Structure 1
């Protein structure tokens, strides 16, 4: 009788073990991307360090510090149209618009390219990465004020400004993401709205100082540096990680085998290829239509002011209706507005156009990083994911404005420029929608 009991016990254990090892039913879809399944399961960070507070004084101070970074960095980058217009008639008058555009595109390219490294560096060394980058950024602005030659502008305003921005921007995104979960898109929208405020302050101040004062270029830029310095000081003390430093990979190559991440990378490339056109060429286009230079520089302030609402409101909607949904719709809307550039032919039309392009393109700034955050459920990998995505997009940022400059130089008008950039944004929107079809939620789901 002992043998049957043993056999029965073995059968029960086998049956129990088999049932516990059954694969999930076909309709039980995991919310995690495939790349997370192929890697080692991360520890439950909520159990180790508690859930993200999703609010409270400490979390919002972190968000405010990150907003100061974007006020200083993207605020100045978004003002490059004013610089381009001034350089073309002063220090760099012997250079073509596409050659001058390389300065601004190099800044943005390095800013995004080295973001792929700064994210993991922040994971390893914490806020020291931000502090070093903040000092370098103030130094870059001050050195730009001393530039006279093309290569000097390329080194100071192009390389050093871009490198310093990269060291602080992606880590700012990563640290804010550690403090917010359900309200992450709204928090990131608030953070990048700092660039809109900076984009209002800097173009107006810079345009006024350069074109309608006796300060000259050097002191005009140095005053910008004095505005930036206290912002950088505040972010050095306010941005502290909630999670401890850890050894992390600079690149997660398996991420490029995951359809969602790969689709967002391709979409981001197209979007970034076209969305910077108004920031670089709107003032020049306005002056070609007879607008005063100072007033034309104010158009960038209007663009960035409108994009404040275009960044915060879609961020809130993204938490409710899906990050990819808002990102895709924003890309399509931006493409349509960019295509309409040459339809604005007078002051009133240009002001209205600046408002619309600000509203639509502002959506893309906050939605881009929020979309990459859907590729992982491990908050400690967010900096790496965002950095990798933006690093690929940096190539588009590098070549987009100069290509537009070449089109402007060759055809002598802005129609071809708007067609190229608008079609690129539309292509990005369609790729985002196609990417949604690879997710369990499908094309019409909330993702």
Structure 2
């Protein structure tokens, strides 16, 4: 759904022609950023209420965000309905879908992640075609209403989640169920009990694992330019090749290759023991960076297609292997927190990347 931002940005620009492209880019960038920014809070809700309730409520909030976006008449209001409401709801719907797989699959977690996330690649392939057929004739408000139906369906599908691990984290050795010493809370004040509960669900002990700490901050640094090609693709194709009619071909190519990459590297990841999976993710980041640098060098459209196919394969590797690495580094009982903090660290660079790229382009043109 987030990759639909490319087409939605164009329609937002048409609805508010007096605003600059940089301001338009902040609407979708805010939605993308909120998905990751809310992740630490989503971890707390997942541990406390379970994957099912969290995912159902999140998908329903995202549904409300898209639905109310169809009635927004100002860009400022769309910042709230699409950027914040839809973004936060998507975060609460997305993360539990990664955590729930660890309840069922341990030996083949990579392949399970690959199969599940490959479904989103199929959606990414079909969505540009759908938007191309729908946005023009029906307009942006009707398009938001149609997209909101998908989130409502996702809310219903999340009811099938059946967690095998109990809600709430298992206490660390030497700790009571509320995050403090076993007998410390009997005589504690209400304030101390509240702090203990907060410490329990906002458990920062995962950062005590050196390998997790290095990995999380490394990934957060690497994703600064992750969404830049998606957000600014339309303008680049228009400037380089004179039209935007074939831009949907690139989205289909990257969606298809990403799906193949998620299945392929999910299976390969299961064959790589322990935390050595990180090396595969590092290689995917290096290739993603190289392919991003190759985009401006493409003089023919076919060359751009090849670059986006390779980017899709690397994207599939990065996405698929993320959850298995977290499970390997901190174990299944703290995996929700580990994934949440990782996505939270990714929020700022992912949100800032597209607008920064837009500002750089603007200054170079001026």
Q: TM-score, normalised by structure 2?
A: 0.86
The offset of 1:251, in angstroms, is: 2.7
- In structure 2, the partner of 1:222 is 145
Contact 2:287 / 2:314 at 8 angstroms: preserved in 1? Answer: yes
> Is 1:98 aligned to residue 22 of structure 2?
yes
Taking a change above 3 Å as real, the CA distance of residues 162 and 320 of structure 1, as seen in their structure-2 partners, is same
1:239 to 157, 161, 165: 161
Structure 1 CA distance, aligned partners of 2:139 and 2:49? Answer: 41
Partner residue in 2 for 1:79:
4
Q: Give the superposition deviation at 1:354.
A: 2.1
Task: Say yes or no: does 1:361 pair with 2:283.
Answer: no
* Aligned equivalents of 1:412, 1:283: Cα separation in 2: 17
Question: Which 10-residue stretch deviates more, 101-110 or 363-372?
Answer: 363-372
| Residue in 2 that maps onto 1:198 | 123
Check the 8 A contact 1:283/1:297 in 2, yes or no: no
Distance (whole Å) between structure 1 residues aligned to residue 237 and residue 219 of structure 2: 28
Counterpart selection for 1:401 from 350, 354, 358: 354
C-alpha deviation, 1:247, in angstroms:
5.1
For residue 369 of structure 1, report the CA deviation from its aligned partner: 2.8
Distance 1:380 1:304 in 2: 32
Q: Deviations over 1:347-404 (max 9, x none)?
A: 3222222212212222212222332222112x12111111011111111112111111
Contact 1:123 1:380 in 2 (8 A): no
Matched, 1:122 2:46: yes
Match of 1:341 in 2: 295
Alpha-carbon shift at residue 291 of structure 1 (Å): 4.9
Q: Does the C-alpha gap of structure 1 residues 291 and 205 become closer, same or farther in structure 2, counting only changes over 3 Å?
A: farther
Shift of 1:155: 0.5
Pairing partner for 2:32 from 85, 100, 108:
108
Instruction: State the 1:157 CA deviation.
Output: 1.0
Please report how far the alpha carbon of residue 79 of structure 1 lies from its aligned counterpart in structure 2 after TM superposition: 1.7
Which digits, 9 at most, give the CA deviation of each residue in 1:16-59, with x for residues without a partner? xxxxxxxxxxxxxxxxxxxxxxxxxxxxxxxxxxxxxxxxxxxx
What's the CA shift for 1:317? Answer: 0.9
Q: Give me the whole-angstrom Cα distance separating, in 2, the residues matched to 1:387 and 1:340.
A: 32
Kindly provide the CA deviation profile for residues 291-321 of structure 1, in whole angstroms up to 9, marking residues without a partner as x.
5434213422321221111222111111112
- Higher relative contact order (CA closer than 8 Å, sequence separation 6+): 2
- Residue 112 of structure 2 is matched in structure 1 by 187
> Where in structure 2 are the equivalents of 1:48-67 lying within 5 Å?
none
Q: Deviations over 1:108-156 (max 9, x none)?
A: 2211121112123122112222221121111111112222321122111
User: Mind listing any 5+ residue stretches in structure 2 that lack a counterpart?
Assistant: 171-199
Q: Tell me which residue corresponds to 1:418.
A: none
The one-character-per-residue Cα deviations of 1:239-261 (angstroms, maximum 9, x if unpaired) are 12111222573333232232211
Deviation digits for residues 167-211 of structure 1, max 9, x if unmatched? Answer: 121111111111111111111122222221221121221123224
Distance 1:294 1:231 in 2: 31
1:380 corresponds to 2:305: no
Q: Does the Cα contact within 8 Å between 1:178 and 1:243 map onto a contact in 2?
A: yes
Task: Tell me: CA distance 1:107–1:132, structure 2 relative to 1, closer, same or farther (3 Å).
Answer: same
Q: 2:247 aligns with which of 296, 299, 314?
A: 296
Pairwise CA RMSD:
1.9
Contact persistence 2:47–2:201 (CA under 8 A): no
1:390 counterpart residue number: 343
Report the CA distance between 1:264 and its aligned residue. 1.0
Give the gaps of 5 or more residues in structure 1.
Answer: 1-75, 414-447
Give the count of matched residue pairs. 333
Deviation of 1:77 after TM superposition, in Å, equals 0.4
Corresponding residue number in structure 2 for 1:171: 96
SS in 2 for 1:264: helix
Specify the SS of the correspondent of 1:94: coil
